[in-house]
Structure 1
Amino acid sequence: MPISPNQGPSGGGTSVIITGTNLSNASAVRFGTKPATITANSPTSVTVVSPSGSGVVDVRVTTPGGTSNPLPFFYVPAPLKTGVDPLSGPTAGGNVVTITGTGLTTASSVSFGASTAVPTVVNDGQLTVVVPAGAAAGPVGVSVTTAGGVHNGVTYVYVDGPTITDVDPASGPTSGGTAVTITGTSLTTTGSVTFGGNVAPFTVVSDSTVTTLTPPGAAGAVDVVLTNDGGSDTAVGAYTYVAGPGI
Structure 2
Amino acid sequence: MPISPNQGSSGGGTLVSITGSNLSGTTTVRFGTRLATSVTNVSPTTVTAVSPSGTGAVGVTVTTPGGTSNPIPFYYVGAPFKQSLSPSFGSTAGGDTVTINGTGFSSATSVSFGANTAVPTVVSDSRLTVVAPAGAAGSVSVSVTTAGGSNNGLSYTYVAAPTVTAVVPAEGPESGGTAVTLTGTGFTSTNQVTFDGNPAPFTVISDTSVSAVTPPGTGGPVDVAVTNDAGTAILADAFTYIAGPGI
TM over 0.5: yes
Q: Give me the whole-angstrom Cα distance separating, in 2, the residues matched to 1:14 and 1:231.
A: 44
Which sections of structure 2, spanning at least 5 residues, go unmatched?
A: none
Name the residue aligned to 2:238. Answer: 238
Alpha carbons 1:38, 1:46 under 8 Å: kept: no
Matched, 1:100 2:63: no
Structure 1 segment 61-76 matched on structure 2, within 5 A: 61-76=62-77
Larger mean Cα displacement after TM superposition, 7-16 or 34-43: 34-43
- Structure 1 runs, 4 residues or longer, greater than 6 Å off: none
Residue identity in the other structure for 1:180: V
Shift of 1:196: 0.8
Q: Give me the whole-angstrom Cα distance separating, in 1, the residues matched to 2:96 and 2:201.
A: 26
In structure 2, the residue corresponding to 1:189 is in which secondary structure? coil
Larger mean Cα displacement after TM superposition, 11-20 or 37-46: 37-46
Name the residue aligned to 2:215. Answer: 215
Q: Give me the whole-angstrom Cα distance separating, in 1, the residues matched to 2:186 and 2:38.
A: 56
Residue identity in the other structure for 2:63: T
Q: Give me the whole-angstrom Cα distance separating, in 2, the residues matched to 1:242 and 1:226.
A: 22
Residue identity in the other structure for 2:109: S
Deviations 1:102-125 (A, max 9, x none): 212222212222222112222222
Q: Give me the whole-angstrom Cα distance separating, in 2, the residues matched to 1:55 and 1:212.
A: 61
Structure 1 segment 70-89 matched on structure 2, within 5 A: 70-89=71-90
Q: Give me the whole-angstrom Cα distance separating, in 2, the residues matched to 1:201 and 1:110.
A: 39
Deviations 1:12-37 (A, max 9, x none): 11111112222222222111221111
TM-score (norm 2): 0.90
Residue identity in the other structure for 1:67: T
Aligned residues: 246
Identical counterparts, % of pairs: 66
Q: Give me the whole-angstrom Cα distance separating, in 1, the residues matched to 2:106 and 2:124.
A: 6
Q: Give me the whole-angstrom Cα distance separating, in 1, the residues matched to 2:48 and 2:109.
A: 24
Shift of 1:96: 1.9
Q: Give me the whole-angstrom Cα distance separating, in 1, the residues matched to 2:191 and 2:110.
A: 30
Residue identity in the other structure for 1:167: V
Name the residue aligned to 1:120. Answer: 121
Deviations 1:121-180 (A, max 9, x none): 22222222222222x323332222222212223322222222222212322333333332
Q: Give me the whole-angstrom Cα distance separating, in 2, the residues matched to 1:179 and 1:82.
A: 44
Q: Give me the whole-angstrom Cα distance separating, in 1, the residues matched to 2:59 and 2:186.
A: 57
Name the residue aligned to 1:198. Answer: 198
Deviations 1:47-82 (A, max 9, x none): 110111121111122222222211110112111222
Residue identity in the other structure for 1:191: N
Q: Give me the whole-angstrom Cα distance separating, in 2, the residues matched to 1:66 and 1:153.
A: 47
Alpha carbons 2:143, 2:153 under 8 Å: kept: yes
Structure 1 segment 22-171 matched on structure 2, within 5 A: 22-41=22-41, 42-134=43-135, 136-171=136-171
Q: Give me the whole-angstrom Cα distance separating, in 1, the residues matched to 2:242 and 2:87.
A: 40
Q: Give me the whole-angstrom Cα distance separating, in 1, the residues matched to 2:208 and 2:177.
A: 22
Which sections of structure 1, spanning at least 5 residues, go unmatched?
A: none
TM-score (norm 1): 0.90
Q: Give me the whole-angstrom Cα distance separating, in 2, the residues matched to 1:218 and 1:79.
A: 57
Q: Give me the whole-angstrom Cα distance separating, in 2, the residues matched to 1:213 and 1:126.
A: 44
